[in-house]
Structure 1
Amino acid sequence: MPSFRGHSLPAIALLAVLLLAYVCLEPGLTGGFLFDDAPNLQDLSAYGGVTNWETFRAFVFGGWSGPSGRPIALASFLLNDNAWPSDPGSFKYTNLMLHLLAGALLAWAALQLCRFYGLDERRAQWTALFGSAAWLLHPFFVSTTLYPVQRMTQLAAIFVFAALVAYLHGRRLFPLRPRAGLVWMGASLALGTVLATLSKENGALLPLLVLVVEFCAPPGPPRLPRAFRALFLWLPSLAVLGYLLRQIDFTPGLWPDRPFDQPERLLTESRILWDYLGNLFLPRIEGSGLYRDNIIISRGLFDPPGTAWAIAGLAALLAAAFRLRRCAPFFSLAVLFFFAGHLIESTWLGLEPYFEHRNYLPAAFLFLPLARGLDRLRQQVSAATVAISALAMLGTLAFLTHQRATLWGDAEQLELYWALAAPDSPRAQNALAHFYARMGDAAQAETVITQAIARLPDSPLLTMSRLLQKVYLGTATPEDFTWAGERLVRQPFDAQAVMALRTLVDQALRQDRPGWYRSATLTLIDRLAENPAFNRFPLFLRFIPYLKARLLLADGRVDEAEALYREAMRRYANIDSSMQMVAETANAGYYAHAARLLDDAEALYRQQPETSLKFPRRIYDQEIARIRAQLEEGIHAQP
């Protein structure tokens, strides 16, 4: 906890703020899992739950969310459960505790920072307290806290804040005990960067963020040794910048699965950064939430016109931060720390453009200038007026956070709110139609999808959604499949539409569906395979033979299914996927075909790199031998 030496009131106030944050966020603990939660957590049960070292290794070191795999974040999910499905309340409660820990560490780091920047002890304590309280109580971070998978973001921030505490302790120790100070600073940077990066990749920005702290520091503290600065600050910062620079590629159509290229993403992010700042300084209860696939992409400086103004505003803000760093260090720190924190996720990498959680770390010191402004206001008005103003601001934030958390406490109502707030989002309208379908209002669901298709005619997700609705209701006709095929063949790629295609196959394979559903779905898949936009994606190219094989297997066309399964296995080149296909064939009673597929699966497995295996080879060897014995037994038992 922060050390408020000689002043018990700020320490008590911090505890009160932490308690208030808990009270405000607690209503959201009853909400459910959302969007990316299942894809990131469902591997908890991939092999019967995480129950031993092999399954632990497979889950923790099998992450796919980023280049690092984020093993520390994945390991933290085991605090809540080792299987899936699970109770979302447990995951959300842990996230809430982590948010409080992050707030306490931020208060400590801000206190150390204020001391380092030359504030007297009383001003340092109250400035740090207000700045961290505004961050902790801000409604913009409700989504980060109550969205279980965003624990990755929380942990990265926690390790960065803890490293800043230790670094600034060493920085203040350095003039008195240089060797001890350098040990504190070097250890905090090395350990903090590793731990934060293994939680989420933007943790690699820690050395750059510390450079910002040093750059904005007022004159006074002695300079660090050149060798230390080069080894612990400049080299890791330049390594991150070098990695990012290597990703620059202005080739048109670089990301076929995105509606933008690199220049367009850069232009768009200039407007999004102002949107973030607007939400941080003019907070509201809720916006469009996680449905942000309707962001207007900037196609040029004046398309839309606000793009040029956004870029000019950012340039002016950055220029002011550099210009004023001596006379207004807290302002410069807030601005430069914010932009440095967004360097990975809000520049030219091919990520989706907008997510609230990307501000969790960059906004850490954003409210310190406001705290300093309130302190200076005491020269013009009474201390009571300043205190009332500060409490009013924090109270407003707390109220908005409580209201937003209450909305987040009901996952169904939350998604309905988002859907209604985002009429131009295909994902939102798809979710809205599903909501009405679950409520038994098929007519309203059809109306929502029909109107959404009229507004968004190029969305393959909506095309698949309309067809699936009719399939769910059992009212689909051959004409509906033909209509969908004619649209899909010319629409842009959408990964969610591919997932919807898998759902369609699952539905067509149900025993209570008419047999012609399978042949119509096969025709639809063939039609979609004619779309060059889809054919550029390995995900789709793997799915095609696999989904067709399942349909043909159900129709008894087992030789054709075997050939397609073999092609799918070759494209997946993964023993886990291959064994799934062997199992599907065997479960249908075709043991000889399954045995031949097992031979192919084993041959591919022998060529598979060690690093791509979820489990040690002895586990796979045992499983292959066990399945082979069962298949041979099945073959001999058949007439």
Structure 2
Amino acid sequence: MANSDSSIKNVPRHETLLLFLLAVIIILVYTETLTSPFIFDDIHNIRDNPHIRVPVLSFKNLAWAGFQSPLANRPVANISFALNYYFHGYNLVGFHVVNILIHITSGIFLYFLVKATIRTPALGGRYAKFGWIPFFTAFIWLVHPLQTQSVTYLVQRMNSLAAMFYVLSLLLYVKFRLSTGRRAKWPFLGGCILTGMLAFGTKEISATLPGFIILYEWYFFQELSRQWAKRHMLILAGFGVFIIAISLAYFGNDPFVRILNDYNSRDFTLVQRVLTQFRVVIFYISLLIWPQPLRLSLDHEIALSYSLTNPITTLLSMTIIIVLILLAILLAKREPLISFCILWFFGNLVIESSIIGLELVFEHRNYLPSMLAILLLVALVFRYLKPVWLGVVALCVVGTLFTVWTFERNKDWSDEISLYRDCVEKAPGKARPYNNLGAALLRAGSLAKAVEQFKTALKIKPDFVDAHYNLGYALSRQGNLAAGIYQFGETLRLDPDNLKALNNMGVALALQGRYGQAVNYFEAALEQNPRDADVHNNLGIALKNKGNPDDAAKHFARALALDPRHADAHNSLGLILMESGQVAAANQHFARALEINPDFKDARRNLENRGQVNGVGSGNAEVGVKN
């Protein structure tokens, strides 16, 4: 049994220098992504998430960010976003630097996990002469183009951070088991439990961690002893109870109803998703082997499977997966490392590639599963490609190629228009990429091009709520209020409680001078979210123009209570105060609006007019587009 590095041959010298070199390579490969914008789910979870905007670093504020954010069951990730905001606001560089550091750290933990694994009793020195396996596993995993989505896509820090804690927890368990000192080993176990809890608090994929710790123990320390398994049935039962508890915490008391309800907003059924996932998993395996940038996309288009034979590749894919799992079981005694790596890959995909009504395919789901899948490939190269130096050369070539491809792939993430154009080119039959490209063009001020993209999305999917809303918003921005109102109406027909559509319907009606109708829509929007400062401000403007300044002032004041830095509300309330003769108080609000937004021309003009009652209003606020 190998208990020290001295029993491992061909161990890399200058280990720290090599790991530093890996870190430098990753920094260089991802440097161009440092200013990549917020996209897709970043908008909802980071950019437009008020809960992460902590003004003072305190336990209360961090807890608020962690448990009040949109994905409240991922508090650790939410708190990390709040810390980013506290130190540098919405500066993109800071967010990307943290994501890159998480990726590097995960790779280093993977290196040490693999290094510890080949020293375990079950492997019995089988890999003793292949001391470079840990380095090449970490190298190829770190530079693999498939990881770009987990690193460059900021909100997927939830995924990468969970994986980092996950692999660290398992590493600490292995250290605990390999440690010979009684006192020295217990901190490792404590660290294992703590990092495991952090993984659970980062993303639900970590629910498999206890199961894989038990499986690791059985494979590599108990050498698949049936007697050990029988004696520890309670532990296995405890893991089952843990999974049930996690499911109940996530899905509620009736998980089956919750799972089925998740499909109400999908274009596929539960059966279709399960059948399609067989093909998706085979697609993931193909991307692991050949991750050429032309095959990568933020938004893949994949045809649904309607039965095992429609398409026939469904049955073929299911057969391949079953054969691989059976192979893992049959090889368990003779080849425990190969067997465990196969089970690791499929086991860590099972949560997001089974019955839960998530999107069909996303590359970031391979971040954790790919760790030991790459170990499997590297181990096979060292064992079966002779002489050994030829395997080393082959892995160097693969690593270099993947590094270049990752650099190329990251160019697609340089700006959101490039990214969404790439999605449209790779998924021309899917509506969402056109909607997302249109939203990006709209934000860039290209209204006509944006309208074209939204119309294309609606041709593909006529009931696409977000595309109707965005088209209405774009048409309204073009000055075509009647067409914009029609599209907002379509949005509300499909989704009556759509807050943004209710608000911007009110804005469009107010711009037409139909203030009474506008008030009705703003009030309906406030029923959905009474704490929306923009809607309170808009309702105040409509009420003022309708001839009800007192009620208008109440809503401006409410907007400022919710968001003291709302410049439009300061200006609007200043106008009310000026018209009632409270010039000093009005000027204070105009000055505050200018302090918040120095380019606010209306507030500057109102302040300069000092005492003249014909002030300039802010107009109606608008809410941004929806990806």
Which TM-score band applies after superposition, normalised by the shorter structure? 0.7 to 0.9
SS at match of 1:344: coil
Match of 1:259 in 2: 267
1:299 Cα offset (Å): 3.9
**Counterpart among 507, 512, 515 of residue 513 in structure 2:** 515
User: Match for 1:143 among 149, 156, 163?
Assistant: 149
Aligned in 2, Cα 1:93/1:48: closer, same or farther, shift over 3 Å? Answer: closer
Q: Is contact 2:161–2:202 with CA below 8 Å preserved after alignment?
A: yes
- Is 1:194 the equivalent of 2:194? no
Other structure's SS at 2:119 match: helix
Q: Which amino acid aligns with 1:542?
A: Q
Change (3 A) 1:453 1:221: closer
Q: Which amino acid aligns with 1:199?
A: T
| Aligned with 1:153 (options 147, 151, 159) | 159
Paired amino acid for 2:160: Q
The equivalent residue for 2:501 is 501
Cα separation, 1, equivalents of 2:49 and 2:456: 37
Q: CA deviation at 1:110?
A: 0.8
1:435-478 Cα offsets, whole Å, 9 max, x none, are: 4445655443333333332222232222222222110111232x
Distance 1:336 1:28 in 2: 33
8 Å CA contact 2:437–2:450 kept in 1: the answer is yes
Q: In 2, Cα distance between the equivalents of 1:184 and 1:227? A: 28
Once the two structures are superposed, residues 377-419 of structure 1 have per-residue CA deviations (whole angstroms, 9 ceiling, x without a partner) of 34xx433322211111111111111112233233442233223
Q: Do residues 402 (structure 1) and 407 (structure 2) align?
A: yes
5 Å-filtered alignment, 1:47-196, equals: 49-67=55-73, 69-70=74-75, 72-82=76-86, 86-116=90-120, 117-119=123-125, 122-173=128-179, 183=186, 186-196=189-199
RMSD between superposed Cα atoms in Å = 4.3
Letter in 2 for 1:197: F
Which piece of structure 1 moves more, 74-83 or 142-151?
A: 74-83
Partner of 2:424: 419
Equivalent residue number for residue 278 of structure 1:
286
C-alpha change, 1:545 and 1:82, in structure 2 (3 Å) is closer
Does the C-alpha gap of structure 1 residues 165 and 54 become closer, same or farther in structure 2, counting only changes over 3 Å? closer
Structure 1: gaps (5+ residues): 530-538, 570-574, 592-639
- Picking from 315, 328, 338, the partner of 2:322 is 315
Partner of 2:581: none
Q: For residues 448-459 of structure 1, what are the structure 2 equivalents within 5 Å?
A: 448-459=453-464
Mapped to 1, the partners of 2:298 and 2:137 lie a distance apart of 27
Instruction: Say yes or no: does 1:447 pair with 2:445.
Output: no
**Helix, strand or coil at the partner of 2:86:** coil
Relative to structure 1, the CA distance from residue 201 to residue 587 in structure 2 (aligned partners, 3 Å threshold; closer, same or farther) is farther
Matched residue SS, 2:373: coil
Q: Does 1:28 align with 2:33?
A: yes
Tell me the distance in 2 between the aligned counterparts of 1:4 and 1:467: 66
**Contact 1:10–1:126 under 8 Å retained in 2:** no
2:29–2:406 CA contact under 8 A, matched in 1: yes
Superposition deviation, residue 524 in structure 1? 8.9
User: 1:99 deviation in Å?
Assistant: 0.9
Matches within 5 A, 1:40-51: 40-41=45-46, 42-43=48-49, 49-51=55-57
Equivalent residue letter for 2:396: L
- Bigger RCO (CA 8 Å, 6+ sep): 1
CA deviation string 1:585-618 (max 9, x = no partner) = x959999xxxxxxxxxxxxxxxxxxxxxxxxxxx
Shift of 1:234: 5.0
- 1:343 maps to what in 2? 350
Residues 224 and 58 of structure 1, relative CA distance in 2, 3 Å threshold: farther
Judge conservation of contact 2:26–2:104 (CA < 8 Å) in 1.
yes
Q: Given the superposition, is the C-alpha separation of residues 202 and 450 from structure 1 closer, same or farther in structure 2, using an over 3 Å criterion?
A: closer
| In structure 2, C-alpha distance between the alignment counterparts of 1:490 and 1:127, rounded to whole Å | 58
How far, CA to CA, are the matches of 1:266 and 1:590 in structure 2? 59
1:300-334 C-alpha deviation (Å, 9 max, x unpaired): 43444433333232222212211221223222212
Deviation string for 1:202-223 (max 9, x for gaps)?
A: 2232111223323443875989
CA distance in 2, matches of 1:132, 1:190: 24
Q: How does 1:203-282 map to 2 (within 5 A)?
A: 203-217=206-220, 234-241=237-244, 243-244=246-247, 247-249=255-257, 255-282=263-290
Aligned residue for 1:332? 339
Q: Trace 1:459-478 onto structure 2 (pairs within 5 A).
A: 459-477=464-482
Q: Which residue of 2 aligns with 1:376?
A: 383
| Unpaired segments ≥5 residues, structure 2 | 249-253, 578-627
Whether the 8 Å contact between 1:298 and 1:307 is mirrored in structure 2 is yes
Shift of 1:144: 0.9
8 Å CA contact 2:430–2:460 kept in 1: the answer is: no
User: Is this contact kept in 2: 1:269–1:353, CA < 8 A?
Assistant: yes
CA deviations on 1:555-587 (whole Å, 9 max, x unpaired) are 43799x99xx99xx9xxxxx979xx9xx99x95
1:281-292 superposed matches below 5 A: 281-285=289-293, 287=295, 289-292=297-300
Which whole-Å CA distance do the structure 2 matches of 1:396 and 1:150 have between them? 24
Are the structure 2 counterparts of residues 273 and 155 from structure 1 closer, same or farther at C-alpha, using a change threshold of 3 Å? same
Is 1:429 the equivalent of 2:434?
yes
Letter in 2 for 1:214: E
| Structure 1 residues 47 and 244: alpha-carbon distance in aligned structure 2, compared to 1, 3 A threshold | closer
User: CA distance change for structure 1 residues 45 and 129 in 2, over 3 Å: closer, same or farther?
Assistant: same
Structure-2 separation of matches of 1:121 and 1:589: 78
Q: Spell out, residue by residue over 1:504-549, the C-alpha distance to the aligned partner (whole angstroms, 9 max, x if none).
A: 2474377xx3324x677789999xx9xxxxxxxxx99826999998
Shift of 1:52: 4.2
Q: Report if the CA contact (8 A) 1:114-1:124 is conserved.
A: no
Cα deviations by residue, 1:335-373 (Å, 9 ceiling, x for unpaired) = 211122123222222333332222211221111222222
Go from structure 1 to structure 2 and tell me whether the alpha carbon gap of 1:254 and 1:102 turns closer, same or farther (over 3 Å shift). Answer: closer
Report the equivalent of 2:623. Answer: none
Q: Deviations over 1:66-124 (max 9, x none)?
A: 53x42x32333344331785111111011111111110110000111111133357535
Distance (Å, rounded) in 2 between the aligned partners of 1:66 and 1:351: 17
Tell me the TM-score normalized by structure 2: 0.75
Identity, % of aligned pairs?
Answer: 22
2:306, 2:530 → 1: CA distance? 33
- Mapped partners of 1:474, 1:146: distance in 2: 36
Q: TM-score, normalised by structure 1?
A: 0.73
State which of 361, 368, 377 in structure 2 corresponds to 1:354.
361
Structure 2 CA distance for aligned equivalents of residues 321 and 494 of structure 1: 51
2:365 & 2:158 partners in 1: Cα distance?
11
What amino acid maps onto 1:409 in structure 2? S
